[in-house]
């Protein structure tokens, strides 16, 4: 009986560890309290929100709200582009990295953009 309990206990511990590892890999980055996945291409980093992001754009009587999955492009020349926020710039420092646009800033505190499989795009975009 004790042997079975040890086996069951070990199995549950392994299952719990593997489950936690699977959950931890569902997203790679957190910015603006949203989950983001990161990939790389020849132009730079590409961050995609895992879920729709709601943003308010102030413009007086013409203000608007968007709610959609976003894509951030962080280029080799420190340029940034967003599907909802337009053009901007990005940089990184020891405290993390961020993309800054005319009306919004998306921060990724205490994180560093690293290409899956190695081959970082650019560390020249220091703040």
- Please state the rounded mean pLDDT for residues 13-18: 41
Domain ranges in the chain are 28-109
**Looking at the predicted structure, is the pLDDT value of residue 48 above 60?**
yes
**What are the DSSP calls for 58-76, one per residue?**
--GGG-EEEEE--EEEEET
Q: Which residues on neighbouring strands pair with residue 37, listed in sequence order? A: 48
SS3 121: coil
pLDDT bracket for residue 23 (50, 70, 90): very low
Name, in order, each residue with C-beta under 8 angstroms of 57's C-beta and a sequence gap of 6 or more: 63, 64, 65, 66, 103
pLDDT bracket for residue 15 (50, 70, 90): very low
Q: Which residue shows structure tokens 């560093």?
A: 112
Q: What is the pLDDT of residue 46?
A: 95
Q: What is the pLDDT of residue 42?
A: 87
Q: Which residue shows structure tokens 């013409």?
A: 62
Instruction: At 115, give phi and psi (nearest 5°).
Output: -65, 135
Span 97-126, pLDDT tens digits? 999 999 899 999 999 898 887 766 666 888
**Looking at the predicted structure, is the pLDDT value of residue 10 above 90?**
no
Span 51-110, pLDDT tens digits? 999 999 899 999 999 999 999 999 999 999 999 999 999 999 889 999 999 989 999 999
Name, in order, each residue with C-beta under 8 angstroms of 36's C-beta and a sequence gap of 6 or more: 27, 28, 29, 30, 47, 48, 49, 50, 72, 108
Instruction: At 75, give phi and psi (nearest 5°).
Output: -85, 165
């Amino acid at each position: 009986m004790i042997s079975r309990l040890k086996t069951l206990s070990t199995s549950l511990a392994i299952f719990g560890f593997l489950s936690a590892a699977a959950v931890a890999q569902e997203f790679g980055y957190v910015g603006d309290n949203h989950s983001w996945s990161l990939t790389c291409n020849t132009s730079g980093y590409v961050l995609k929100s895992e879920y729709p992001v709601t943003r308010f754009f102030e413009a007086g009587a013409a203000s608007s709200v968007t709610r959609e999955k976003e894509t951030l492009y962080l280029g080799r020349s420190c340029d940034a582009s967003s599907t909802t926020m337009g053009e901007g710039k990005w940089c990184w420092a020891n405290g993390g990295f961020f993309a800054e646009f005319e009306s919004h800033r998306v921060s990724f505190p205490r994180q560093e953009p690293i290409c899956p499989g190695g081959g970082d795009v650019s560390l020249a975009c220091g703040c």
